[in-house]
Structure 1
Amino acid sequence: MFKVLIATALVFSVSIAQAKKDEKARKPASMTGNVMVGGEAEYDACGGYGIVLTTTSLISFKNGKMEFDKVDVNTYVSSCQSSEDGKYIGIIYGKKGQDCGVSSPIPKRQEYKGPCKSGWIKADFFELLAG
């Protein structure tokens, strides 16, 4: 059990270190800013649903600067967009049972403003379950 906790901490630390390194280059070329939702009057604001496979860093933007948080392993999330190169997934998630407002249509394409957390994780750490 202790070895698993250390391995998880190392993966998270490496992920944060890489994200901070990316910050020096401003935004990674594959990410366009905050997570966007909606744009289709007939479809849910976010078309996918999945699970985070390992504790990893969550990258978001505030006033043009990167901010970092973490997403825990086994967190269920809505997947709303993918980066141009497919390396990152834009996700939204809340507390268990919380309605994030993305499972129904939002006709106009817009930046997600809450009430839940949103940001980008590496696609390697995400598994699509539906959508």
Structure 2
Amino acid sequence: MRIGEQGASFAACGIRGLVTDAGVPVRAAPFEEATVSDTLDEGRNLFVCTRSLDQRWLGVVVPAAASPEDGCGVASSVSSRRRYDGPCLSGWVPAAAIRARAG
């Protein structure tokens, strides 16, 4: 999963999102057969970093539930597009299970 898709003038993951379904799987790749690394509860905050080509999957970074405003290193810009290798959970979730939210 990559961050910095919008360029160096924008946050590495510029959209904040909210999980709208219970038990949303976080997968290693943007397809149903990919390994599940964790599941997210309804109401969980996250950062949306990228989309799959078919727009059905979102690449996300998920702060710890205890500190949902922690940027996980993605709230500020990065110099170039790159793979996310920060401390927070990251992966792919179904786009239909996420709603964009204001800052």
Is this a same-fold pair by TM over 0.5? yes
Cα deviation, residue 130, structure 1: 3.5
Structure 1: 5+ residue stretches without partners: 1-34
Counterparts of 2:17 and 2:90 in 1: how far apart (Å)?
14
One-letter identity of the residue aligned with 1:86: Q
For residue 37 of structure 1, what is the aligned residue in structure 2? 3
Cα deviation, residue 120, structure 1: 0.7
For residue 121 of structure 1, what is the aligned residue in structure 2? 93
Indicate yes or no: 2:28 matched with 1:56.
Answer: no
Counterparts of 1:60 and 1:94 in 2: how far apart (Å)?
17
Indicate yes or no: 2:56 matched with 1:87.
Answer: yes
TM-score when scaled to structure 1? 0.65
Which structure dedicates a bigger proportion of its chain to helix?
1
Counterparts of 1:50 and 1:56 in 2: how far apart (Å)?
13
Report SS of the residue matched to 2:27.
strand
When the two chains are superposed, the root-mean-square deviation of aligned CA atoms in Å is 1.8
Kindly provide the CA deviation profile for residues 45-93 of structure 1, in whole angstroms up to 9, marking residues without a partner as x.
01100100112111015xxxx4212111111000001111111111101
For residue 35 of structure 2, what is the aligned residue in structure 1? 67
Structure 2: 5+ residue stretches without partners: none
Superposition pairs for residues 22-33 of structure 1, below 5 Å? none
Say which structure, 1 or 2, has more relative contact order (CA 8 Å, 6+ apart).
2
